[in-house]
Structure 1
Amino acid sequence: MTTALLLIAAMCLDAALGEPDWLWSRIRHPAVLIGTCIGWLDQRLNRGSGKRVKGTAVLALLIICGWGIGALLAQLGPIVEILVCAILLAQKSLVTHVRDVANGLQISLEEGRGRVAMIVSRDTRAMSQPQVARSAIESAAENLSDGVIAPAFWFLLGGLPGILIYKAVNTADSMIGYRSEKYASFGWAAARCDDLLNLIPARLTCVMIMSLSSTWSRWREIVADARRHISPNAGWPEAAMARALGIALAGPRSYDGTMRDLAWVNGDAQREIGPHEVFRACTMLWQVWGLALGALSVWVGITLIF
């Protein structure tokens, strides 16, 4: 079986089953295992001098282990490849978490705050309804790239070693890739590597959203907003999603009790949003997934013919 055909099967399996509680309540998810390893290394190495060198060594170890484990698992056959790839994709779980926020907002603002707190790191206790909705949609756009398109992209290019390396680096970035005093040096390599691995997938996600929403005429605005974003990659899908939904995203928000005056994305658009716009974002998540699946199917068809 070709890698593209394996990916199609994995995407369908993930879309159908997601992350079943009956399984992951009994065994540890691979992402959790990766995170445990990174946490262990963080506790033992993120101290004293030479933090950047130590952090780079941690990154190198993660890459080597990802490649080795992926190559070993690939030898077990296509069924194992499909299962592992499906586990490392996050389409259904992403849509579920984002939709939960919309459902929560329909119950009460407090319920919406509680549910969005499960998917974002910013302060949520004093959020208004538009802030909760924006947070959910921003998370949807960013994680569509990080959790679906990027791992699929690296599986397509590198098989199981490719997707495992990506997942290890992305998990490291989420844990130690901060610009804080504690991680500025130790997490530097993980953050830079994650930026590099997401460079193409983030822009690809942006293009897919634009294609589905017919917003090509606003390309210059999207590029401008993406370049102003605090992340070199997250701004691309966010800027495209904002235009696709006709809403403003980003803007000021609080982290650890400190308000940060961040730039708006599509700032002149509608800011008073709620669960309706979050549901629309979930629809876009599935449309992008469908476009990716369709493109892969066409590619497989062409390769079979020729």
Structure 2
Amino acid sequence: MTIILAMLLDAIFGEPKAIWTRIPHPAILMGRCVSFIDRTLNHGPMRRDMGIAGMAGLVVAFALLGHLLEQFIGWPAQVIVGAILLAQKSLVDHVHAVSVGLRQSLADGRFAVSMIVGRDTDAMDQPAVARAAIESAAENFSDGVIAPLFWFLVGGLPGLMVYKITNTADSMIGYKTEKYIEFGWAAARFDDLLNLIPARLTALLFILPYPRLWHFKSIYADAIKHRSPNAGWPEAALSRVLNVALSGPRPYHGQMQNYDWVNDGARTALTVDDIDAAIVQLWRAWSIALIMILLIAFICG
């Protein structure tokens, strides 16, 4: 029941600015820990080994922290920490901000979407802004909601903590740049491993209410085209629910990247209404996840 309470608290309150403008959010503290190992270990000829050692240290430390919180505080810690580290309402708010901005002007829409994607946004037209918002919704629902829930359910607070520190590390050092291709290797690979099951569960949650879309071979065919071993699954599923094409060519750092289309042949002229429809699907999939966890709790007694 603690996971259910955490989900409901997150869905209702999200990340209250009144709190997190006064004290650092745990995600910020995790980021500082990753920055510390980056500064202290990312040098010399053995960067991959140092990156492995740094990630091992972070994983052990945060697993131990989660264990201590459970042992000495108990279920209140599970509920509060769980609610803080889940990101359903925060994700919905950020995606909704793109919808609101795009309805005001293209410039406002570009600015709002630049807060949640890493690609170049200055030259985006309306369909590109909407597409970027929906892709971010799909990927971050997996990374920020379903994966934390999965590891919370499997491993309690230690499992949740390990997932969050790994995901934070991947977002900071898991890049194929000269600086991080070796040092961030462990973070990127471990994050891929931890998201392997949740990404596919996310795809299932999106299409579950629509039996006509249970074409798993086509979802798999699109998912494996993605540059990430996991992000393609929720994108492939959500694109079919919305009947739109996602991914495709886009610019990063001034260079056009010719990525394959996901759900190629579907509609590419996306609108603000498609963003709103994606938000509906985020809540629908979240509700299904909640019901599933309730059933698990009932069955396990």
The TM-score range, normalised by the shorter chain, is over 0.9
Secondary structure, aligned partner of 2:215: helix
State how many pairs are aligned: 300
Residue 214 of structure 1: aligned partner = 211
What TM-score, normalized by structure 1, do the two folds share?
0.96
Residue 165 of structure 2: aligned partner = 168
The answer to whether structure 1 residue 51 and structure 2 residue 43 are counterparts is no
Q: Is the 8 A contact 1:215 1:243 kept in 2?
A: no
Secondary structure, aligned partner of 1:178: coil
The answer to whether structure 1 residue 138 and structure 2 residue 135 are counterparts is yes
d(CA) in 2 for partners of 1:14, 1:117: 24
Secondary structure, aligned partner of 2:256: strand
Instruction: Name the Cα RMSD after superposition.
Output: 0.9
Return the match for 2:61 from 58, 65, 80: 65
Residue 30 of structure 1: aligned partner = 26
Q: Structure 1, residues 217-264: CA drift from partner, whole Å, max 9, x if none?
A: 432111100001000000000000000000000001111111111111
The code of the aligned residue for 2:32 comes to T
1:180 is displaced (CA, Å) by 1.4
Secondary structure, aligned partner of 2:228: coil
Return the match for 1:233 from 205, 226, 230: 230
The code of the aligned residue for 1:234 comes to A
d(CA) in 1 for partners of 2:238, 2:178: 33
Describe how 1:216-295 pairs up with structure 2 within 5 A: 216-295=213-292
Deviates more, 1:73-82 or 1:94-103: 73-82
Q: Which runs of 5+ in 1 are unaligned?
A: none
d(CA) in 2 for partners of 1:134, 1:212: 23
Q: Is the 8 A contact 1:7 1:85 kept in 2?
A: yes
Q: Is the 8 A contact 1:177 1:184 kept in 2?
A: yes
The answer to whether structure 1 residue 106 and structure 2 residue 100 are counterparts is no
d(CA) in 2 for partners of 1:26, 1:59: 29
Q: Structure 1, residues 29-53: CA drift from partner, whole Å, max 9, x if none?
A: 1111010111122123212210000
1:212 is displaced (CA, Å) by 2.2
The code of the aligned residue for 2:226 comes to H
The code of the aligned residue for 2:4 comes to I
Residue 299 of structure 2: aligned partner = 302
1:274 is displaced (CA, Å) by 1.4
Residue 12 of structure 2: aligned partner = 16
1:80 is displaced (CA, Å) by 1.5
The code of the aligned residue for 1:70 comes to G
The code of the aligned residue for 1:195 comes to D
Q: Is the 8 A contact 1:203 1:236 kept in 2?
A: yes
The code of the aligned residue for 1:166 comes to Y
Q: Is the 8 A contact 2:207 2:214 kept in 1?
A: no
Q: Structure 1, residues 176-224: CA drift from partner, whole Å, max 9, x if none?
A: 0011111110000100000000000000001111112334443211110
Describe how 1:84-163 pairs up with structure 2 within 5 A: 84-163=81-160
Describe how 1:193-208 pairs up with structure 2 within 5 A: 193-208=190-205
Q: Which runs of 5+ in 2 are unaligned?
A: none
The answer to whether structure 1 residue 42 and structure 2 residue 38 are counterparts is yes
d(CA) in 2 for partners of 1:198, 1:109: 34
